[in-house]
Amino acid sequence: MPTRRQLVTQLLGAPALIGLARKTDRPIAGGFVFESQERGHRLRDQAAYTPPTSSRRSPVVIVGGGMAGLCAAWWLDKKGFHDFVLLEMEAEVGGNSRYGQNEVSAYPWGAHYIPVPNAESALVREILTEFGAWQDGQWNERFLCHSPQERLFIHGRWQEGLEPEIGATQADHGDYRRFLERVAAFRATGAFTIPFALGEGNGGPAVDELDKITFAAWLDREGFRSVYLRWFCDYSTRDDYGAGIAEISALAGIHYFAAREHEEKGPLTWPEGNGWLLRKLTAKLAKYLLPNQPVRRIARQGNGWRVTSEKSVWLADTVIFAAPTYLAPYIVEDFAPLPALSYSPWLVSNITLDHIPDKAGDIAWDNVVYGSPTLGYVSATHQSLRSRVEKTVWTHYWALTGADPRGVRRQLLATDWPTWKDRVVQDLTRPHPRIQESIERVDVFRNGHAMSRPVVGLRQSTDLRRLRQGLPGLYFAHADLSGFSIFEEAQYWGVKAAERTLQRIGTPSLKKRR
């Protein structure tokens, strides 16, 4: 077990980076948000509670109102089935797609973009079209990420794009080219699709064996030595999966690059990130949503299920379990543990600035620092149509990788707000030495089980198979079912569970309710 000091060093690099605010620095306001760990721990520890005594009937109960649960609700409603409720643990639905708003801007607390969908992502196109992102045969220009999209701070200056260019040698470029060729060959197998399930079975043993080694081991085996290429791969997987190349499978690493075709336009983004879609879904589905209802127990009752939240008991024919799936063994009667699953802790901070720091250059939507343990920051005001932006909010992302997630989670919770705030500010100080003069507040979200990580063996594990299969009348729906925590996967599994539900219920009841 690493010591506290070792953990901190692993997380942050050299201890010298962990600067504390100087006495002369301007005071910074802020604190933690969404502190619901206690609720989660009560579930884990199966703490005693007084279950409500009376019960109500609802043919379908959705547990969890993240994107998967909401998309299940969207699909049921769209298909004319209205007899269901959605129970959400938190005070608001949205999960990892929640957002905040202050006098400066709306800003994300997690998901902040959706890539322009590939042709096979038909459901993504459908929902985005319904809510007006696709109009008259084109993507709404307001939502396509404006220029400059990405920049990298490397060797003391900014470059456009995230693949390191400054200082890259011929050997680096050779590795970049060869890597892209390998990715193109994998793409051609048809195994790397979004949603992932659509390509499963393609590619044969060569793709299956990628699940057996880490991405780092695959890069070694293929002779990719370029430090820049390896950094770029590591940055990319930390960004999408919350875990680095030594932690995830080669299958997941290659999927990141092979699943998306190169697209000049995009991604689609909004000040509040995917909170834009959340707003639309919440407005449409409001009548079904019951927040502040942590579900404590789901047990069989006849051919159906008895769903007990802290406030109500529901008797249901069918349950869609759209909460993070590691909770299933704690909540669902007789559901065996899921040891193959592992979750990445994240720290997300929203930093309100009353002016853009000196010499910050042309702020891009996504601003990354080479060699930093963090993922840099996204500007919430990037899509603003105003010609001059004075105040802004930057969302700083930090996937806490490189050590055992359980130890890191403990550290995440044991560390107080002033310390995390100082670390985040310190990280920003490298590209912006005078940033402290600009900062009004730093609000911090400690997300201990933010996303399932696609580790070696997950894809072929019986745990994933059990989750995809579900139980009679209980279907799982969560991005966890792919192991890739992205909107497209959450939506796919939400809709899939809704389809299975409709099949179980049968068309007659559907007709009756139209």
The full DSSP string for 101-157 is E-SS-EEESS--EEPPPPTT-HHHHHHHHHTTSEETTEE-TTTBPPSP-EEEEETTE
| CB 63 to ligand FAD: min, Å | 5
Do residues 501 and 475 lie in contact, with contact meaning Cβ atoms separated by under 8 Å?
yes
Task: Return all residues near 289 (Cβ < 8 A) that are at least 6 apart.
Answer: 65, 73, 86, 88, 93, 282
* Closer residue to ligand FAD, CB minimum distance, 50 or 387: 50
- Phi, psi angle pair for 324, to nearest 5°: -55, 135
* Closer residue to ligand FAD, CB minimum distance, 117 or 199: 117
Helix, strand, or coil (residue 416): coil
345 C-beta neighbours (distance < 10 Å), count: 26
| CB 433 to ligand FAD: min, Å | 27
Structure tokens at 55: 């019960």
| CB 381 to ligand FAD: min, Å | 17
- Phi, psi angle pair for 490, to nearest 5°: -60, -45
* Closer residue to ligand FAD, CB minimum distance, 187 or 238: 238
* Closer residue to ligand FAD, CB minimum distance, 381 or 395: 395
Residue nearest to ligand FAD (CB): 66
* Closer residue to ligand FAD, CB minimum distance, 69 or 203: 69
| CB 424 to ligand FAD: min, Å | 14
| CB 488 to ligand FAD: min, Å | 7
* Closer residue to ligand FAD, CB minimum distance, 395 or 438: 395
* Closer residue to ligand FAD, CB minimum distance, 115 or 203: 115
* Closer residue to ligand FAD, CB minimum distance, 95 or 253: 95
| CB 484 to ligand FAD: min, Å | 9
Contact set with ligand FAD (CB under 6 A): 43, 63-69, 87-90, 93, 95-97, 110-114, 274, 294-295, 322-324, 327, 346, 348, 397, 447, 450-451, 478-479, 485-487, 490
Gap between the terminal Cα atoms of the chain: 58
| CB 57 to ligand FAD: min, Å | 19
| CB 447 to ligand FAD: min, Å | 6
Residue 35, Cβ density class (10 Å: 0-12 exposed, 13-18 middle, ≥19 buried): exposed
Residue type at position 356: I
Q: How far apart are CA 464 and CA 435, in angstroms?
A: 45
Do residues 86 and 497 lie in contact, with contact meaning Cβ atoms separated by under 8 Å?
no
Residue located via tokens 């901070």: 349
* Closer residue to ligand FAD, CB minimum distance, 9 or 417: 417
| CB 305 to ligand FAD: min, Å | 14
* Closer residue to ligand FAD, CB minimum distance, 175 or 255: 255
* Closer residue to ligand FAD, CB minimum distance, 203 or 324: 324
| CB 210 to ligand FAD: min, Å | 22
* Closer residue to ligand FAD, CB minimum distance, 66 or 454: 66
- Residue (of 263, 251, 231) closest to 162 by Cα position: 231
| CB 486 to ligand FAD: min, Å | 4
Structure tokens at 281: 């879904």
Residue 19 DSSP code: P
Which helix (H) or strand (E) segment is 355 a member of? none
Task: Return all residues near 171 (Cβ < 8 A) that are at least 6 apart.
Answer: 225, 226
| CB 246 to ligand FAD: min, Å | 20
Q: How far apart are CA 128 and CA 132, in angstroms?
A: 6
Do residues 305 and 474 lie in contact, with contact meaning Cβ atoms separated by under 8 Å?
yes
Which helix (H) or strand (E) segment is 390 a member of? none
Q: How far apart are CA 316 and CA 57, in angstroms?
A: 6
Q: How far apart are CA 87 and CA 293, in angstroms?
A: 6
Which helix (H) or strand (E) segment is 25 a member of? none
- Residue (of 150, 109, 137) closest to 267 by Cα position: 150
